[in-house]
Structure 1
Amino acid sequence: MEIKHAFLYLSLLLGFSLLHGYSAYAAGTHDGSEQWGYVEVRPKAHMFWWLYRSPHRVRDPSTPWPILLWLQGGPGGSGVGFGNFLEIGPLDGNLKPRKLTWLRKADLLFVDSPVATGFSFVEDKSLVVKTDEEAATDLTTLLKKLFNGNEKLQKSPLYIFSESYGGKFAVTLAVSALKAIEAGELKLQLGGVALGDGWISPEDFVFSWGSLLKDLSRIDRKTLKSSNSFALKIQQQLAEGSYKNATSTLNHLQDFILNNSNNVDFYNFLLDAGNDPVVGGRGSRGIALMEKYTGYLSTKKHSPASQRVLPSLMNGRIKKKLKIIPKKVKWVGQSRLVFRAMTGDYMKPRIKEVDHLLAKGINVTIYNGQLDLICSTKGAEAWVDKLKWDGLRKFLNLKRNPLYCGRDKTTTKGFVRSYRNLAFYWILGAGHFVPVDQPCVSLEMVGTITGSPSHS
């Protein structure tokens, strides 16, 4: 497709070194159904975004059509790549229409965050963020550039959806954005936050792994004891503020579990990981995690792209379509930098941020795949129990409601419990990648969260 704005062709001629001269660029399709661009969130730090307008949009003045911002995990996973083409976007990894795309319920905004992720890039390696808060500040800057001058966007509530480590990004962004909204610096309606298998409290997850795998007959009693010893060491290191050491111990625990479970898949405990890249060297662990994303997702009928096909697609046909990606920028070319830079923040919990959002009246939804190990439902329930929110006791005592898919009421797909501005979804038969494993019930969940008007 051609680009509407002719000046963008000049960006290809200007090249990498001069891109920082632009604070923001945008391009898109002729019909306005897609827009994308770069925002220079800091000097020489460029964040890429891609917005899809839903063809299912319902014009209902009483219920504004929502925008869903998707934040990938990792840290260093590309939402523009993984979330878009392998999970919820309009096209799959073979560029075929995705039947149950989340575009049915909302406009979709994908962002490669933090900078140096996916098509985002930095001109100086020192500009890579080291904390969740720094990533949130950059994202807030991007939202200001996109929303403050656009009244159409301002009319649509923004829902921040996330997966895995993206959950930490989501709650820190929501806190940052809310502060900017209250200060009059950001013109945005914050509809809510949704945490999909979110890495909110690493301590609670590592304590869940051993007992969960023992109950599943995947490890024995001796391995359970050793696993709990690792978890206790991590707990102590976190209490001391030794976050980098805790990350190192986490890596050793993961390796130990893999070696003593015959390579259980951390993303779905019913599967074998085989030659799991996560076992690779410490220095490559960040990129290995991203390779594991595509490796796992390629086994799913809804996401046929393999880990070799996706980079080829992104650096080939997609880069050619977008036109504004500098020639020297390769998709995930700098992503290794992100994971390494955030080693000191990786194990920090973000429960306080969730409490802050709940106290402010922001809608918070937690959804978890039944078969996930790394961000297990057991671990998620444990950190929810630690919330200081005044509605927690009532929430925990409420009965769960069953979930089904469409008109089929014969097969239970999950459960949900909600009270005031907190909701928890238990998604059955899903691993770490809920939209891939259970696309139908996931889509219905999105409609409920965002309050999307029904369409014919």
Structure 2
Amino acid sequence: MSGLDEPLRLSGYFKLNRTYDAHMFYFFFEAASEKRHEEPLAVWMTGGPGCSSELAVFYENGPFRINDDLTLDANEFGWDQTHNMIFVDQPINTGFSYSEDERDRVFDEKVVAADMLDFLKEFRAAHPSYFDAPLFITGESYAGHYVPSVTFGIYEYNKVAKDPFNLEGFAIGNGLTNPAIQYGSYADFSFANGLISKNMQSTLNALYPICKFGINACNTLGWDIVCDIALIFCQDTIVAPIQAEGFNVYDIRKPCIGPLCYDFSLLDRYLAQDKVREELGVGDRPWQSCSPDVYNDFLGDIMRNYEDKVSAQLEAGIKVLIYVGTEDWICNWMGNKAWVTSLAWSQREAFDSAEEQDWHFEGSVVGTVKSAGPLSFLKVFQAGHMVPMDKPAEALDMIASFTHPQSNRSTSASPKLKPSVLRLEKLRASHLLVQ
């Protein structure tokens, strides 16, 4: 175990014992604070579907930043400043996670939830002390599907388990959760931001009821072929005409560079180094920022609605934070606000009547927040799809305030935590595989 001046850093694999050959890759970063074992445990899942959480580790809320010469600097706003952080490559065959058995391929959220529950059991068996603190599940984008599914799986497990997890809440950033509602926001958001004309807005809004009918049929019937047809129709008639205008769908202020609209080539080069692969314990296993194979396996899942799992957990008192960068188009704030407002739960009227409050950070208004009971909806100004990348200090303040309410802790209200000076060589894959 590292001393207080050097938090524990781990990377490696856990084999999922309920599977045939699935090996899930993770990074673990112990909190940099003095009372690290009292800090919440937060799990992060990047979306896609099929995008690696190494994107978050090195570009968003992880403790590293990559320099042009492939050295690493510390990120003073990494969420490990106030949390014990686990970043997971999931579903299987995402990032460095793998299985040599085709039967371990993942096609739906039921398996996502089962695999993640298995992973958390394995991690807890190896590192039990971190699970005494509250557990939070977090993620962005397609994690609007992953997060409510995984937390609902934990919630159901806790009802019967002798060793329940201390699940306290979850956070979703710029997520896709209820497509039937969120697809209805594209035309209005695009027009409001000058991306399309009034005539195109009217045309797309006239087509939306057909799109919504298809998505509802997908969720009512549960047939993948119906979900596929709904996806194709909605993409071709609503999404494609807007995207043809040419802009970065993840940040309407910026140009689209490369297939992901951002230049992540430094990460590709960094993870291709032999010394890095040796330290991470991944050998010559190939790595992709986003797997097209995993994406294709989830085509039947994209149009499914996971709002009901959010409602059930709110009723159980599990805290929920939905946060959205206002400059994102693909999972924009209008669509997210619409589905959050539509949630069927006992405090819906209280949420509807709650006023939006300004969110202040270091003397400036950086967003707005609306809350009732365990539910909060937060808009982050001047941020795109990847809020922790665009607004790292504000994102740390946001998540720390959400996970530390008992002390009202936030980076703006408490002393700055000194970032660790980290090098890859500090990583020790001491649990590369747990059979």
Q: State the TM-score, normalized to the length of structure 1.
A: 0.81
Distance in 1, Cα, partners of 2:145 & 2:34: 30
Match of 2:433 in 1: none
Shift of 1:229: 4.4
Distance in 2, Cα, partners of 1:307 & 1:211: 31
Shift of 1:417: 2.1
SS of equivalent residue, structure 2 residue 123: helix
SS of equivalent residue, structure 1 residue 160: strand
Map residues 25-424 of structure 1 onto 2, 5 A cutoff.
33-41=8-16, 42-58=19-35, 64-79=38-53, 81-94=54-67, 95-148=72-125, 150-184=127-161, 186-241=163-218, 242-252=226-236, 253-259=238-244, 261=245, 263-273=246-256, 277=259, 291-292=260-261, 295=262, 306-316=263-273, 317-322=275-280, 324-327=281-284, 329-332=285-288, 335-406=291-362, 409=363, 411-424=364-377
2:403 corresponds to 1:444: no
Give the residue type in structure 1 aligned to 2:10. Answer: Q
> 2:41 touches 2:131 (CA, 8 Å); kept in 1?
no
Give the residue type in structure 2 aligned to 1:70. Answer: W
SS of equivalent residue, structure 2 residue 64: coil
Q: Give per-residue Cα distances to partners, 1:390-434, cap 9 Å, x unaligned.
A: 11111221222222223xx2x310112222211111111111111
Distance in 1, Cα, partners of 2:289 & 2:342: 39
2:405 corresponds to 1:431: no
Distance in 2, Cα, partners of 1:225 & 1:126: 46
Distance in 2, Cα, partners of 1:212 & 1:443: 27
Distance in 1, Cα, partners of 2:7 & 2:249: 40
> 1:56 touches 1:455 (CA, 8 Å); kept in 2?
no
Q: Tell me which moved more, 108-117 or 42-51.
A: 42-51
Distance in 2, Cα, partners of 1:333 & 1:419: 37
Give the residue type in structure 1 aligned to 2:269. Answer: S
Task: Identify unmatched segments of 5+ residues in structure 1.
Answer: 5-30, 278-290, 296-305
Q: State the TM-score, normalized to the length of structure 2.
A: 0.84
> 1:133 touches 1:172 (CA, 8 Å); kept in 2?
yes
> 1:203 touches 1:231 (CA, 8 Å); kept in 2?
no
Shift of 1:148: 4.0
SS of equivalent residue, structure 1 residue 88: coil
> 2:139 touches 2:171 (CA, 8 Å); kept in 1?
yes
Give the residue type in structure 2 aligned to 1:353. Answer: K
SS of equivalent residue, structure 1 residue 198: coil
> 2:36 touches 2:83 (CA, 8 Å); kept in 1?
no
Distance in 2, Cα, partners of 1:114 & 1:222: 41
Relative contact order: is structure 1 or structure 2 higher (C-alpha 8 Å, sep ≥ 6)? 2
Shift of 1:276: 6.2
SS of equivalent residue, structure 1 residue 404: strand
Distance in 2, Cα, partners of 1:104 & 1:308: 26
Match of 2:424 in 1: none
> 2:61 touches 2:388 (CA, 8 Å); kept in 1?
yes
> 1:154 touches 1:187 (CA, 8 Å); kept in 2?
no
Shift of 1:186: 4.7
Shift of 1:254: 2.7
Q: Tell me which moved more, 161-170 or 39-48.
A: 39-48
> 2:10 touches 2:29 (CA, 8 Å); kept in 1?
yes
Give the residue type in structure 1 aligned to 2:61. Answer: I
Match of 2:429 in 1: none
Distance in 2, Cα, partners of 1:180 & 1:129: 20
Shift of 1:378: 0.7
Shift of 1:339: 0.5
Distance in 1, Cα, partners of 2:335 & 2:163: 34
Give the residue type in structure 1 aligned to 2:133. Answer: S
Distance in 2, Cα, partners of 1:420 & 1:188: 22
Give the residue type in structure 1 aligned to 2:146. Answer: F
Count the aligned residue pairs.
391
> 1:403 touches 1:416 (CA, 8 Å); kept in 2?
yes
Matched residues, percent identical? Answer: 25
SS of equivalent residue, structure 2 residue 121: helix
Q: Tell me which moved more, 189-198 or 391-400.
A: 391-400
